[in-house]
Structure 1
Amino acid sequence: MDPHLLRTFVSVARRASFSEAARDLGFTPSAVSQHIATLEADLRTPLLTRRPVAPTAAGARLLEHAGPLLRGLDAARADVERLAGATAARLTLCASPLAMTVRVAAALAEARRAHPGVRTAVRVLGRGEIPAAVAAGQFDLGLTDGLAAPGDPLPLPAGGPLSALAVAEGSLVVPLPLGHPLARRLGLRLTDLADARWLDAPEAAVPLRRLRAASGTDGFRAALRYEGTDVRALLALAAAGHGLALLPHSAAEGTPGLVAVPLVSPRLVHRVELLHAAALHDPAADFAELVTGIVAGTGTGTGSGGHRYE
C-alpha cells in the first residue's frame, strides 16, 4: 500500500471534500481523484462515497489503521535522520498549557546553558495533539498533563511507540472569588459542585468531561466557554464570578481576588508527564533528566516513573 496514496485518502476522508484535500496537499483535484481510484483498485473495494464524500465501511476501517501507520512512518524517518545526523542539534518541546511550570522553564534554561547555540523551540499545543506530534518526530519531547489517581500514569491515546516519564504530581484546587459562599471551606467534594456554574476551558483547566467521569454525574454545566490557553485570563474570569474551574494548586496559588480551596474527594492529583518517541541524545536527554530526575536516554521508558505506549 503506497503511503502517499494513504495520506491522500486520509485528507479526503477528514475534509469530506476532494477539492479541499487537493488544496491542503498541493495537488489538483483530478490528481487526488486518481490517487483515490488507484488505492481503491489496489484494495479492490470502494473506500469513499462521492456524493456526499464519506468513508464506506471499508474506508472507515482503513482510516482507523491509517493514523498509526502514517505516524509510525513519520517517527521512523525522524529517528533515522536524528541517528544519521541529518538534522541540526536542537531541543524542541511541545507542552499543554498546564504542563508548562516554573520547574519546566528552569530545567529548559539549564539545558540551554549546558548546550549553547542549540536551536530551541517551545510550542503550546492541546493535550490531544501532543502524543501524535512527538511520535511523528515534529518535537523531541512533549509535556502533557491530566487527572490521575496518585501514582497512576495518564491514559494516553495510541500515537506510535511513546515512552512517558513522570514529571510531577500536585494537588487540585477550585479557585473561588473572595465572596463566594464556599470560599471559607477547608476542602471541596467534586460531587457537591456538580450543579454549580462552570467555565468550559478544555485546555486551560481540567476539561468538564473529565469532571463528569471522575464524579460519575452528568452535571458540570458550562456557564461560559473559554477557548484560550492563557491560564491567567481564565483565573480573571473565575475571579469575576463567571464560573468555576478545577486547576492545579501551582497554577492558582496567590491569584488576587481568589481563594484556592483544595479538592478533597475524589482522591485525584494533577499529573505532568514527559513524552518521547526515540532514544534521546543531548540536549534533549539532559533536559529530560533535569525535569524528571530519570535518565531517559534509552527510549525504553523503564525505571521509576516510566511507562510505554505502543
Structure 2
Amino acid sequence: MDPHLLRTFVAVVDQGSFSVAASTLGYTQSAVSQHIAALESDLGAPLLTRRPVAPTAAGARLMEHARPLLLRLDAARADLARLNQAPQQGISLACTPLSHPALLAAPLPGDRPSLRVLGRDEALRAVTSGEVDLALVDGAAAPSDPLALADLGPLTTVRVAEESLAVVLPAQHPLAGRPSVRLADLSEAHWIDAPDTGVPLPRLRVAAGTDGFRARTTYEGTDVLTLGALVRAGHGLTVLPDSTARRLHGVTVTAVSAPHIVHRVEMVHGRLPRGAARELVERIGAGEGGPGQVTSPASAPR
C-alpha cells in the first residue's frame, strides 16, 4: 500500500472534497482522482462515494488503520533523523493544558524555549513525528501506574508529578457540601465532555465500573477557566486535579473518595534527545527533592 496514496485518501475524507484535498496537498484534482483510483484498484474495493464525497464501508474501515499507519511512518522518519541530529541549544515542548504547571516551576534549559499547548492526542503526535523535542501529557491513573498511552511508536515516558483528583460542581449542587464523594454516586449526573482538559468521560466509566457519565455538554477547548465557567453555569460536572480545581471561582470542589485514582503528568520523548532537551529529561529523572521517575516504552501494554 503506497503511503502517498493513503495520505491522499485521508485528505479527501477529512476535507469531504477532491478539489479541496487537491489544494491542501498541492496536487491537481485530476492527480487526486488518480491516487484514489489507484488505491481502490490496489485494495480491490471502492473506498469513496462521489456525490457526496464520503467513505464507503471499506473506506471507513481503512480510515481506522490509515492515521496510525501514517503516524508510524512519520515516527520512523523522525527517529532516524534524530540519529544524526546535532545537539540543539533550544528546546521545543508540546504540553497538554493541565501538565505544564508541574514543569514550569523551574527555568527551562537552553535558549528561546518554545511551548505549544495541545490536546492529548495532538501532543503525542507532535513528539512522535518529531515536530517537538518533548511532550508533557496528563491523565487519570491508579497511583504509581503509568498513563495508558496510544501505541504511536517507540516512545519513553518519565513521571513528572501525581496529585489527587476532585469533582468540580456548581455551588448549588445537592452534593456540594460533602467533603468527598464516590464517582459511582455521580454516574447519572450531567457531565461536561471535555476530553482535552478534564478527565475524559470514558476514563471515568472505566474507573467507576459503570456505563454512566453521559455528556450533557461538550467542550472541545483547552482553557480550564472556560471549563470552570461552564460548571459554574450549571452545564455539567467535571473532574480535575485538586490544585487546579481549587483555583476556580464560583464552584465547589469535592474530593474523590473512590475509586483511588490520581492525576498523573508524564514527559514523553522518542530516542533520548541531546542538548537542552536531554538536560531537561535528566533533570526530571534525577528528581532531586521532587517526584521520582519511571521510564518505559509508551507503546508497551499498560
Query: What residue in structure 2 maps to residue 204 of structure 1?
Result: 197
Residues 226 and 44 of structure 1: CA distance in aligned 2, closer, same or farther (over 3 Å):
closer
Unaligned runs of 5+ in 1: 295-302
Residues 16 and 185 of structure 1: CA distance in aligned 2, closer, same or farther (over 3 Å):
same
Take 2:190 and 2:156, find their aligned partners in 1: how far apart are those partners?
Answer: 38
2:286 corresponds to 1:293? yes
Instruction: Give CA-to-partner distance per residue, 1:118-147, whole Å, 9 cap, x none.
Output: 342211111122222211111111111111
Take 2:232 and 2:91, find their aligned partners in 1: how far apart are those partners?
Answer: 37
Take 2:173 and 2:62, find their aligned partners in 1: how far apart are those partners?
Answer: 52
| Count of residue pairs brought into register by the alignment | 294
Query: What residue in structure 2 maps to residue 48 of structure 1?
Result: 47
Residue 31 (structure 1) shift: 0.8
Kept after mapping to 1: 8 A contact 2:183/2:258: yes
2:226 to 228, 233, 245: 233
* AA at the equivalent of 1:26: G
2:105 corresponds to 1:106? yes
Q: 1:1-310 counterparts in 2 under 5 A?
A: 1-41=1-41, 43=42, 45-46=44-45, 48-51=47-50, 52-55=53-56, 57=58, 63-85=63-85, 89-101=89-101, 103-107=102-106, 109-111=107-109, 115=110, 118-293=111-286, 304-310=293-299
* AA at the equivalent of 1:265: A
* AA at the equivalent of 1:307: S
Residue 148 (structure 1) shift: 1.0
Residue 47 (structure 1) shift: 5.2
TM-score between the two structures when normalised by the length of structure 2: 0.84
Kept after mapping to 1: 8 A contact 2:88/2:274: no
Q: Secondary structure at the match of 1:275?
A: strand
Kept after mapping to 2: 8 A contact 1:81/1:87: no
Residues 152 and 32 of structure 1: CA distance in aligned 2, closer, same or farther (over 3 Å):
same
Take 2:56 and 2:88, find their aligned partners in 1: how far apart are those partners?
Answer: 40
Residue 255 (structure 1) shift: 3.5
Residue 25 (structure 1) shift: 0.7
Residue 269 (structure 1) shift: 0.9
Residues 177 and 30 of structure 1: CA distance in aligned 2, closer, same or farther (over 3 Å):
closer
Q: Secondary structure at the match of 2:161?
A: strand
Q: Secondary structure at the match of 2:160?
A: strand
Q: Aligned-pair RMSD on alpha carbons?
A: 2.9
Kept after mapping to 2: 8 A contact 1:132/1:160: no
Residues 70 and 178 of structure 1: CA distance in aligned 2, closer, same or farther (over 3 Å):
closer
Residue 248 (structure 1) shift: 0.5
Kept after mapping to 1: 8 A contact 2:78/2:128: no
* AA at the equivalent of 2:296: H
Residues 181 and 35 of structure 1: CA distance in aligned 2, closer, same or farther (over 3 Å):
closer
Residue 304 (structure 1) shift: 4.9
Residue 62 (structure 1) shift: 5.1
Take 2:130 and 2:241, find their aligned partners in 1: how far apart are those partners?
Answer: 29
Take 1:29 and 1:122, find their aligned partners in 2: how far apart are those partners?
Answer: 37
* AA at the equivalent of 1:291: I
Residue 287 (structure 1) shift: 1.7
Residues 143 and 257 of structure 1: CA distance in aligned 2, closer, same or farther (over 3 Å):
same
Kept after mapping to 2: 8 A contact 1:131/1:162: no
Instruction: Give CA-to-partner distance per residue, 1:29-53, whole Å, 9 cap, x none.
Output: 1011222334455x36345244354
Take 1:97 and 1:44, find their aligned partners in 2: how far apart are those partners?
Answer: 41
Kept after mapping to 1: 8 A contact 2:88/2:277: no
Take 1:292 and 1:176, find their aligned partners in 2: how far apart are those partners?
Answer: 36
* AA at the equivalent of 1:228: G
Kept after mapping to 2: 8 A contact 1:46/1:56: no
Instruction: Give CA-to-partner distance per residue, 1:180-232, whole Å, 9 cap, x none.
Output: 43233221101111232323322221122322232233333434333321112
* AA at the equivalent of 1:238: V
Residues 49 and 76 of structure 1: CA distance in aligned 2, closer, same or farther (over 3 Å):
closer
Kept after mapping to 2: 8 A contact 1:90/1:119: yes
Instruction: Give CA-to-partner distance per residue, 1:253-301, whole Å, 9 cap, x none.
Output: 244434422101111111111111222112111222333437xxxxxxx
* AA at the equivalent of 2:184: T
